[in-house]
Amino acid sequence: MQQKADQRVPVLVVGGSLVGLSLSLFLGRLGVRHMLVERHSGTSIHPRGRGNNVRTMELFRTAGVEADIKAAAALLADNHGILQTPTLVGDAGEWLFKEIDPGGGLARFSPTAWCLCSQNDLEPVLLMSARALGGDLRYFHQMESFTQDAEGVTAVVRDRESDEVYTVRADYLVAADGPRSPVRSRLGIGQSGPGDLFANVSVTFRSKLLADTVGDRRFICCYLTDPDADGALLPVDNNENWVFHAPWHPERGETLEEFTEERLVQHIRHAVGVPDLDVEITGKASWRAAERVAERYATGRVFLAGDSAHEMSPTGAFGSNTGIQDAHNLAWKLAAVLDGWAGPGLLETYDTERRPVALATSARASARSVEHSHPGFAPAPGIGGGKRGGILNIVLGYRYPEGAVVDADPDQPVVPDGMNLTGQPGSRAPHLWLRRAGERISTLDLYERSLVLLCGTGSPAWPAAAARVAASEGVRLDVHRIGDAPDADLTYDTPPADWATAHGTTPEGAVLVRPDGFVAWRTPGASPSPEAELRRAVGSVLHRA
């Protein structure tokens, strides 16, 4: 029996940091009414979590906020690479890598690129956009408890300013409430993985003279390796605002109280190599790097996303990006189920798809920290020994061997050794520049609110079949005919091009793409029963009974 509540929403989001805000944005774009509660009084004030990878920027592009994020990130637009050096005085040291995208090769795969936007700059953009879409976002409101039954979830929320307590009834609850997730704990969900890896104290400071020492070295991060004062230096504005991560060793009994302002000033001066450097400490926050993944991502109608589901070493910014991509995967599935065009079994594929990605990515993040000799990280035997090398296959090439896909190869690795985005079911659909009514768009711009069937102009059977399936099943299914013929919906931006070859099929074939841009199914050629074949594929992907 449904419990009475003061307020009713389809989705309740707990946690208003990057992942919770992204989920709110994605749900708002899909027209899903929701409420978000966050115990803090506002968005992050500490410049952290700055690396937004190309896949995340693709999602923000589709959600209409790419330009706003780039504007918020303008101060660091020319910063690239990671420098490792014992001192910033002189030209000692070496670049671990100097360019994120050397040679511009990324343009073959994506319409966008990496973006260096600190969390304190990114979160306000997401907040403003989510509220503009109708999101009910409540800061300084804390969920104190929840219960769930077969029909939904009832949560008790406290307004921390007025001390008012109210209840919220939701069809689904999504916990984006951080690594020490009270929701995960309440559900009794355990975690796997090595656990804590290392700890740092993050310090914000002002220095008007440091920019002179840095010179024209526009790095994302600089690992300073003096054994008596190692740490990581990050620019905030390349001028006078900076962040320094100092190693902290609680495992040796070292306390946060020992990190006095005087000690931190001396540590920074020593690490940089300028004994009299002007340093004004403006903030301090501790953090711990860990490698953990929840043993399951859902119980009943409650889901985990972001740090509540997985913790990763910060090297490579894998954690926040994986969390934002969790939110995107879950958002379209919640929307489809709530709108009635998918069966509830679709939501079970959230765990099936996203948990293996987190396991593979978290291991890669630890290996990256070993590669970069992250300050404070002295890995125990067996930790951080995973595959090394490039990361584009991890951030863009990961795949779903099982889940809401048809005929994906379950024996293929979640993270392939190389980039092979050629339309395989379970992989992110290929990027191709096209023209629609004169406007230049990417194929990735087609995917957000519906399933999409791509086909050629010489195959009228597929659009007709899609129209009948959409009408009879009540499914959101759009069709786009690609080619140079007069009846094409989309034409090529720079001929010669071939959508079929790019998607691993033929001009007579078809490709079904999910709202999140992943290939759900494809057929290599014409079918004797296109409607029946498409109906089976759509029913399987959407878990329709």
d(CA 433, CA 499): 10
Inter-residue contact 411 to 499 (CB < 8 Å): no
Per-residue pLDDT of the chain (545 residues; tens, 9 = 90+): 455 789 999 999 999 999 999 999 999 999 999 999 999 999 988 777 789 999 999 999 999 999 999 999 999 999 999 999 999 998 888 998 888 888 888 999 999 999 999 999 999 999 999 999 999 999 999 999 999 999 999 999 999 999 999 999 999 999 999 999 999 999 999 999 999 988 999 999 999 999 999 999 999 999 999 999 999 999 999 999 999 999 999 999 999 999 999 999 999 999 999 999 999 999 999 988 899 999 999 999 999 999 999 999 887 789 999 999 999 999 999 999 999 999 999 999 999 999 999 999 999 888 887 776 667 776 666 665 555 557 889 999 999 999 999 999 998 999 998 898 999 999 999 999 999 999 999 999 999 999 999 999 988 999 999 999 999 999 999 999 999 998 899 999 988 889 999 999 999 999 999 999 999 999 999 999 999 999 999 999 999 97
Inter-residue contact 298 to 351 (CB < 8 Å): yes
Q: What φ, ψ does residue 174 adopt, rounded to 5°? A: -120, 120
| Domain ranges across the chain | 1-374, 433-542
Tally of CB atoms within 10 A around 381? 6
Judged on CB neighbours under 10 Å (0-12, 13-18, 19+), 493 is middle
pLDDT at res. 386: 59
Q: Mark out the alpha helices in 372-504 (DSSP H runs).
A: 392-395, 461-473, 499-502
CATH numeric code, 1-374: 3.50.50.60
What is the separation of C-alpha 436 from the centre of its chain, rounded to a whole number of angstroms?
A: 28
Tell me the CB-side half-sphere exposure of residue 8, using CA atoms within 13 A.
6
Q: Which fold has domain 433-542?
A: Glutaredoxin (3.40.30)
Inter-residue contact 100 to 218 (CB < 8 Å): no
Q: Output the six-digit token pair for 66.
A: 């790419």
pLDDT at res. 451: 98
496 upstream amide cis, omega within 30 of 0: yes
d(CA 20, CA 107): 29
1-374 and 433-542 share one fold: no
Largest CA distance in the chain: 79
d(CA 315, CA 25): 26
Inter-residue contact 519 to 423 (CB < 8 Å): yes
Residue type at 185? S
What is the separation of C-alpha 237 from the centre of its chain, rounded to a whole number of angstroms?
A: 24
